[in-house]
Amino acid sequence: MTTPDPALASAFLVLLEGEAGFGEPELTALARAEVMERLAAGAEVNGWYQGRTLLSQAVGWKRADMVELLLDHGAEVNAITHAPEGRLFAEPVAAEAYDPEIVRLLAARGADFAAFDRDVMAVATGADRIPAQNLPRDATRFAPVQRGDRNPQPMVNPFYIEQIRSFDSAYGGLRRHFGEGANPHPWQLSPAFSFERFGRTVTRLPDGRLVLIAGEHEDSYDPDFCIYNDVCVLDGAGGVEYFTYPVEDFPPTDFHTATLMGDHILIIGNLGYRGQRQDGITQVLRLDLKSWRVTRVQTTGDNPGWISRHSATLQDGEIIASGGKIDPGFRDFEGVHALDTKRLRWRRIS
């Protein structure tokens, strides 16, 4: 198991505490000199020291400068922050980040967006830079979820854009804009649009834009439960594009994976509504990054089945799918399958 350089780690903690006002100035100055000298010499920064990573310590002390320093010297942004005995649930450092400057820094350095708390997702993605919308008095009519009639169907909906800007839930957005008890429509007919979701993917393009794909809000007991079939593109500087689709082309999709393949993204897997799930079928969709059109992909071979909550890794022209759940029965998926991205043929590895 990797451990950080002990002298570096000890000096780093003394530095953090001292510069927060909990140490002697002379000792703090010596600790800073030691830290800089050891980093310059290539000291190991990863691994656990006293149960935590150094990066986690810097995030906990809200020291963006120290976070950046560690990242510049090789700290792994998606490493698990606590030793197994230190936390019941192992999480990467993004899960601990709430300071906006640190959140933006971690996101820019490749932190997994799925790890960020929902309360900071607007900051992590740059959605908070979208200009505030001037909602009309009758804006409640824009609140219900709409499916597309075209592939893709761009939507310029002020309530939707405001929800994207804040990553708010349906309930939260309605209360924030229309007050307590806001009810724009009979709950039984249509849920209100939410951008607070589970099972959504966020893919960073080479030009820095983020592509957010579908996901679900809440569960079937909630009046605003919805599995979405949409794509949102954020440029991080306040620009936003939003598309939705006919369900025939892009079924409601959640807990999928999204793999960047040059000019397109392959979307693999889906939990979906109960009536969608098909035994022995793996849903594969193609999102074109120029036209934003979504098309179904027909594959051959030994596919994993109706898989969701899995991981997907691109290796030597194949997408390796493993882990997660398989339906029917929402069983643990124990196999490993590979999709040849040229022939679109699956093979079972184990």
Q: How far is CA 155 from CA 18, 145, 152, 216, 242, in A?
A: 52, 11, 9, 19, 6
CA-CA distance, 163 to 172, in Å (whole number)? Answer: 9
Judged by average pLDDT, the poorest of 81-85, 157-161, 191-195, 313-317 is 81-85
Average pLDDT for residues 21-35, to the nearest whole number? 95
* Per-residue pLDDT reduced to its tens digit, 97-127: 999 999 999 999 999 999 999 999 999 999 9
Place of tokens 């530095």: 15
Structure confidence at residue 188 as a pLDDT band (50, 70, 90): very low
CATH of range 255-350; options 3.40.50, 3.30.379, 2.40.128, 3.40.190? 2.40.128
How large a percentage of the chain has pLDDT more than 90? 84
pLDDT of residue 187: 44
Q: Is the pLDDT of residue 186 over 90?
A: no
Tokens coding 228: 């979405």
3-state secondary structure 91-124: CEHHHHCCCHHHHHHHHHCCCCHHHCCHHHHHHH
pTM exceeds 0.85, yes or no = yes
Lowest mean pLDDT among 38-47, 86-95, 300-309: 86-95
Q: SS3 for 266? A: strand
pLDDT in tens, 221-248: 888 999 999 999 999 999 999 999 999 9
Cα 237 from Cα 123, distance rounded (Å): 11
CATH top-level class of 6-116 = mainly alpha
Regarding predicted confidence, which is higher, 266 or 82? 266
How many other β-carbons are positioned within 10 Å of the β-carbon of residue 38?
A: 20
Confidence bin at 181 (pLDDT 50/70/90): low
Question: Domain locations in the chain?
Answer: 6-116, 127-251, 255-350
